[in-house]
A and B are shown apart, each in its own frame.
Chain A
Amino acid sequence: MLHLLKIEFRKMYSYRTFWIVCGLYFITIGFSTATGMEFLKWLATLVGNFGSELDINRIPLYHFPDVWLNLVWWSGFFKVLLGIMVVISITNEYTYRTIRQNVIDGLSRWEFLLSKILMNVVLSAASVVLIFLIAAVTGFIYTPEINWKYVFTDLEFYPVYFLELFSFLSYALMLGILVQRSGLTIILLLLSYMLEAIVKANVDDFVPWLIPFFPMESISALVPIPFYRYAFQPIQDYVDPLSVAIAIGWAGLFNYFSYLKLTRSDL
């Protein structure tokens, strides 16, 4: 396993695009999650009576336990950047035909795929760790009174955030392996949500129970939108086991499809 990861790192280490895209991604999720409160304060100075009508310090965006879910939900939007990186990494192997040479040099096709999947795991885990650290630090900064019971509430969204990223990256990887051309794959990746929305809208009238089983839907349903709670509406502040099961199922299927395609085709 470590051996395969080392191979993948050697491929990426001197690849500038990788560092730029990943750098942009981690900087974006890092900054945007860490500076939310400062952004609100800046907004308050800008809009005259913004602060007086709504005391920003009373919006518990960064209070434990809200901060955990809020930051996870927000950073989930940027996973598409990581998805694009995964697409570039796999379609490059087809464009340069290096996948062929890798197999000739002694990787099995499964090992090749596994090295990509492991990279997905690493990228997902890195995002989870980063957001967890930022949430912990900002939580301790902005929470007026630390109540340890709340500090440890809602932490289950972190493994679920990992699953959200990993399923999406597995999807991107599969798309790359099936399509093999970077431009087309990226377009399909970006359109996935929209295409699925169109299908969902049509299916909704006939078989509404099917909706949660759509791949993109299942991935987004993992982490519910938290902000309704600030409008005093109930939100789903727990992890739904069904959506977890569906997302795990899809992640497995995506990687299985990649495996089928890789082992059956000529490289």
Chain B
Amino acid sequence: MTNVLSVDGLTKNFGRLCAVNNLSLEIGAGHVFGMLGPNGSGKTTTLGMLMGVINPTAGSFRWFGETPTQELRKKIGAVLEHPIFYPYLSGQKNLELNATIKECSADNIARVLEIVELTARKDDPYKTYSLGMKQRLAIASALLNDPTVLILDEPTNGLDPMGIAEIRELIKKIAAGGKTIILASHLLDEVQKVCTHFAVLKKGNLVHTGPVGSAGFGAETVEVGANNSALYDLLVAFPGATHVTRENGICYVTLQEHLRSADVNRYLFEKGISVDHLLTRKKSLEQVFLEILSVKN
């Protein structure tokens, strides 16, 4: 089966600045692919090249195994950087225009406006919208032709917590429908919550790519609590622990890579301690991300 997107050696130089350096990626169907990186790491430049607005200096990419054309772009819903619409047109008219450009039916407009909850404001000029409404209109526009691939660049930028949660739910819902989603963000939490795969860019270089779930997340931290004063000393003596700290009666144990919380539990039980609090803390993407960035420094 062909990948939705294959990128091969994509490079973009702006004068002496290398914004994207020899980037190669594969994105499979149904992935929710997170593109991570600090500001200015080349995320938007990459997406701009994939969407035909930035001419690559070198390299190539294929959508659905085909050489990119504007006809293929019509099948992709994309919002890059910030929402872009004609300020003097209403939300409805903007979407009608986009439907004409994408050569898709205008019947979808009511449905996508409903999804992003803008139906009540659809006839007001775009320039009167709040930032959150603009963002949501952009997502509505990206969903307009029922695309198989959705590209979202910082979709929750400038939204309030409720709006962020809504967009997240929306992304999950869309992903559940089998669509491929490429999500660029510097909000790691966001990527961790919705993505299946991710890539990390740094100064235009790809420094990591892989699934979000398991691999690459290394050691676990386990929270252990027990009504026993010897707990801390026993844990320090545990050969599988690399680091132990104590806070408010709870011990935080960082394990060696191959060990799991069950191993801690078994060890303590053998020593005659039954724990009343045991919690596995997977490393957050944020920690992984910072690690990846600092290692390659």
Interface positions of A from 181 to 214, Cβ below 8 Å from B: none
Taken together as a complex, chains A and B put the C-alpha atoms of A106 and B98 apart, in Å, by 9
Which of chain B's residues have a CB closer than 8 A to the CB of A266? Answer: 48, 53-55
Which of the segments A10-18, A78-86, A117-125, A222-230 contacts the partner chain? A10-18
Interface check B172, CB cutoff 8 A:
no
Known: A14-B88, A98-B86, A266-B48. A3 touches B97 (CB 8 A): no
B101 lies within 8 A of A7 (CB): yes
A15 lies within 8 A of B88 (CB): yes
Which of the segments B66-74, B195-203, B241-249 contacts the partner chain? B66-74
Interface check A103, CB cutoff 8 A:
yes
B89 lies within 8 A of A14 (CB): yes
A7 lies within 8 A of B51 (CB): no
Interface check B96, CB cutoff 8 A:
yes
Which of chain B's residues have a CB closer than 8 A to the CB of A7? Answer: 97, 100-101
Shortest CB-to-CB span from A51 to chain B, Å, is 51
Which of chain B's residues have a CB closer than 8 A to the CB of A11? Answer: 86, 89, 97
Which of the segments B24-32, B77-85, B174-182 contacts the partner chain? B77-85
Residues 89-109 of chain A, each 1 if its beta carbon lies under 8 Å from chain B, else 0: 000100011101111111110
B93 CB contact (under 8 Å) in A10, A97, A98: A10
Shortest CB-to-CB span from B81 to chain A, Å, is 9
Interface check A111, CB cutoff 8 A:
yes
A103 lies within 8 A of B100 (CB): no
Taken together as a complex, chains A and B put the C-alpha atoms of A11 and B103 apart, in Å, by 15
Residues 40-77 of chain B, each 1 if its beta carbon lies under 8 Å from chain A, else 0: 00000000100111110000000000000111011000
Taken together as a complex, chains A and B put the C-alpha atoms of A210 and B95 apart, in Å, by 50
Chain B: interface residue total (CB-CB under 8 A): 29
Interface check B158, CB cutoff 8 A:
no
Taken together as a complex, chains A and B put the C-alpha atoms of A114 and B267 apart, in Å, by 74
Interface check B11, CB cutoff 8 A:
no
Taken together as a complex, chains A and B put the C-alpha atoms of A103 and B70 apart, in Å, by 8
Which of chain B's residues have a CB closer than 8 A to the CB of A98? Answer: 84-86
Taken together as a complex, chains A and B put the C-alpha atoms of A101 and B78 apart, in Å, by 9
Residues 120-142 of chain B, each 1 if its beta carbon lies under 8 Å from chain A, else 0: 00000000000000000000010
Which of chain B's residues have a CB closer than 8 A to the CB of A101? Answer: 84-85
Known: A3-B103, A105-B101, A107-B101. A100 touches B84 (CB 8 A): yes
Which of chain B's residues have a CB closer than 8 A to the CB of A16? Answer: 88
Which of chain B's residues have a CB closer than 8 A to the CB of A92? Answer: 86
Which of chain B's residues have a CB closer than 8 A to the CB of A102? Answer: 101
Which of chain B's residues have a CB closer than 8 A to the CB of A13? Answer: 93
Which of chain A's residues have a CB closer than 8 A to the CB of B74? Answer: 105-106
Which of chain B's residues have a CB closer than 8 A to the CB of A58? Answer: none
Taken together as a complex, chains A and B put the C-alpha atoms of A107 and B88 apart, in Å, by 21
Shortest CB-to-CB span from A109 to chain B, Å, is 8
B100 CB contact (under 8 Å) in A6, A100, A104, A111: A6
Which of chain B's residues have a CB closer than 8 A to the CB of A3? Answer: 100, 103
B100 lies within 8 A of A96 (CB): no
Which residue of A is nearest B70, CB measured? A108
Taken together as a complex, chains A and B put the C-alpha atoms of A7 and B84 apart, in Å, by 16
B100 lies within 8 A of A10 (CB): yes
Which of chain B's residues have a CB closer than 8 A to the CB of A264? Answer: 55
B52 lies within 8 A of A104 (CB): yes
Shortest CB-to-CB span from B151 to chain A, Å, is 9
B70 lies within 8 A of A267 (CB): no
B85 lies within 8 A of A103 (CB): no
Q: Beyond the given A105-B74, A106-B70, A107-B70, could you list 18 further A-B residue pairs with CB under 8 A, ordered by the A residue number? A: A3-B100, A3-B103, A6-B100, A7-B100, A7-B101, A14-B88, A15-B89, A100-B80, A103-B52, A103-B70, A104-B53, A104-B73, A104-B78, A105-B102, A106-B74, A108-B52, A108-B69, A266-B55
19 contacts between A and B (CB under 8 A): A3-B103, A7-B100, A7-B101, A10-B93, A11-B86, A11-B89, A13-B93, A15-B86, A96-B85, A97-B84, A98-B84, A100-B53, A101-B85, A103-B70, A104-B73, A106-B70, A106-B101, A106-B103, A111-B70
5 nearest CB pairs, A to B: A106-B74, A101-B84, A108-B70, A267-B53, A106-B73
